Amino acid sequence: MSEQPPAAPETEGGEASPVVAVASKKKKLLLIGLIVGGVLLIVISAVAGWLLSRGGAADTKKAAAHAEAPAHKKVEAAEAHSAKAEHTASEGAASAGGATDEVALKAEAERLKQDVSKLQGDVQKQTEMLTLSDEAAKLKSEIEALKAQKATLESDKGKIAEGAKQIRAGEKKCVLSGDPAKRMDELRVCLGLSGAKPEPGAAAGKPADAHAGPHWSYAGESGPEYWAKLNPEWKLCANGRAQSPINLVGSFEHGAPPLQFAYKPGEISMVNNGHTVQANLKDAGGVDLYGKRYNLVQLHFHTPSEELVNGRAADMVVHMVHKSDDGKLLVVGVLLNKGKDNLVLKPVFDNLPKEEGSERPIASGKLDAGKLVAANAPYYHFEGSLTTPPCTEGVQWFVMKDAASVSPKQFAAFTALYPFNARPVQAVNGRKVDER
C-alpha cells in the first residue's frame, strides 16, 4: 500500500499560498531524487554484485586453472617419469638381458675352451703314456737281456771250468780252427755252452737251416740292435715298417678276420737251434684264413713273451708257425704263465734237447694244437714280421687274448736252456691292429 502525502493549506478565496506551493514542490523533487537514488543504488549494487560475481568466478577459474596447471603438469610429469621409468626399465631389462646373454655366452665359450684344453691334455697324456709304455717295454727287455746275459755268463763260467779240466785230462777234445773270430763259437759248441752257434757242416752240431747265417743272439754286439749290421740281407731288422713283436695297448676295432682252426694230432720232431727249442710238426692240420689253408709246420718258445699286452709280458709265449702252399706265413701266438702243468705241450717239455744239434723225432706222443686254443677264442690281429733274422715282413699275426699255463717245472726246464730269448717290441708305425 502506497503512502499518501499530507494536504497543503489553502489561502483565502479558496487558492493555496505561494510559500506552501514551493515547499510542496521541493518535497516532491526530494522524494523523486531519493527514489531515483535508491533505484540507482540498487542498480549499481546489482551491477557491482554482478561484476563482482563475474570477477570472482574468473578469479576462481583462474585460480583453479592456476591450481590445475601444476597438478596437470605434475600428472604429466609423473606420466612422463613413469613412461621414462618404464622405458628405462625396458632398456635396462634389455640391457640386462643382453648382458646376461653375453655373460652366458662368455661362460659357455670359456667352458668349451677348458673342455678342449682338457681333451688336448688327455690326448697328450695318452700319447706320452703310449710312448712311455713302448720305451718302458724296451728298457724292460734290455734289462731282461742283461740279466739273462749275466745268468748265462755265470752258468758258462762253471761249464768252462769243468770243460777245461776235461780237456786237460784228455776226456774231451775240441777241434778249433785258426780263425780267432770263429774260435769262441767253436769252443762254446764243444763245451755245450748256451748260445753257441756252430758253423754249417759241423757233424755233431749242425743247426737248423732256418737259423743259418752269421751268428746272432739276444744280447751284446750280436743282439737285436746289431742284427741288420751282421748281414745286409737282414736290413729289415733295422728299417722295416711292420716289424714284430709289438706292444698291444688299449682296445682296438672289432674287425679281425675270422680264423678257422682245423688242427689234428701231428708227429713231433725236436731241435735245439741255438736260439730256442723248436718242435717241427708233420700232418698237424692248420688254419683257414679267407679260404686259404695255412699248415702248422712248427712251434717254438720265447721267454719272456715277446708280445706285450698293455706293457706287460707273460712268462713265456709259444709261436705256432703256419705256412701256405704259396709260401705265405701266419703265426698264432699263445701266451703262457706259470701255473698248472700244460698237458698239450708235455711231449715237448719232456724232450727238450739240451744241446744244439740235428733234428730228432719224438716217438712218445703226438701234439694236438687244437687243444691249446679254443675254437671261438678271442684274439688280436695285425700284420708283422718274423721276430728273428732275417725279420721277413708280410706275416699275419694272431695273438690269443687268453693265456695258457705251464708248470714251474716246465718253465724251469726251458729257461735252463734259454733264460732270455725275446726281441724287444717294435714301433707300430700306424699299422692297423684289430681284435675279435
Residue the block writes with cell 708235455: 346
Question: What's the pLDDT band for 379 if we cut at 50, 70, 90?
Answer: very high
Confidence of residue 426 (pLDDT cuts 50, 70, 90): very high
Q: What is the pLDDT of residue 364?
A: 77
4, three cell numbers = 499518501
Q: Does the pLDDT at position 123 exceed 70?
A: no
The amino acid that residue 131 corresponds to is T
pLDDT tens-digit series, residues 2-22: 444 444 444 444 444 444 444
C-alpha cell, 39: 533505484
Confidence of residue 188 (pLDDT cuts 50, 70, 90): low
In this structure, are residues 269 and 278 in contact, taking their beta carbons and an 8 Å threshold? no
The per-residue pLDDT for 119 is 75
> 195 or 345: whose pLDDT is higher?
345
Q: Please determine, for residue 329, whether its predicted confidence score (pLDDT) is greater than 80.
A: yes
215, 242, 211: which is closest to 229 by C-alpha? 215
| Residue-level pLDDT at 38 | 67
Report DSSP state, residue 13: G
Give the residue-averaged pLDDT of 67-84: 52
The fold adopted by the segment(s) 230-435 is Carbonic Anhydrase II (3.10.200)
When pLDDT is cut at 50, 70 and 90, the band that residue 118 belongs to is confident
In tens, the pLDDT along 15-49 reads: 444 444 445 565 666 677 667 666 666 766 665 56
125 or 178, higher pLDDT: 125
Cβ(433)–Cβ(314) under 8 Å? Answer: no
Query: From residue 302, how far is each of 144, 286, 336, 374 by CA, in Å?
Result: 12, 21, 10, 22
Rounded distance between C-alpha atoms, residue 307 and residue 403, angstroms: 12
In residues, how long is the chain?
436
| Amino acid 247: pLDDT | 97
pLDDT of residue 17: 46
Range name among 160-164, 274-278, 286-290, 402-406 with the lowest pLDDT average: 160-164
What was the pLDDT predicted at 110?
Answer: 84
**pLDDT surpasses 90 at 256:** yes
- pLDDT > 90 in the chain, percent: 48
Q: Which residues are the active-site residues?
A: 275
Kindly report, residue by residue over 196-223, the tens digit of the pLDDT. 444 443 333 333 344 557 899 999 999 9
Confidence of residue 114 (pLDDT cuts 50, 70, 90): confident
Among 415, 412, 382, 414, residue whose Cα is nearest residue 398: 382
Q: Which three cell numbers stand for residue 266?
A: 701231428
How many CA atoms within 13 Å lie on the side-chain side of 226?
11
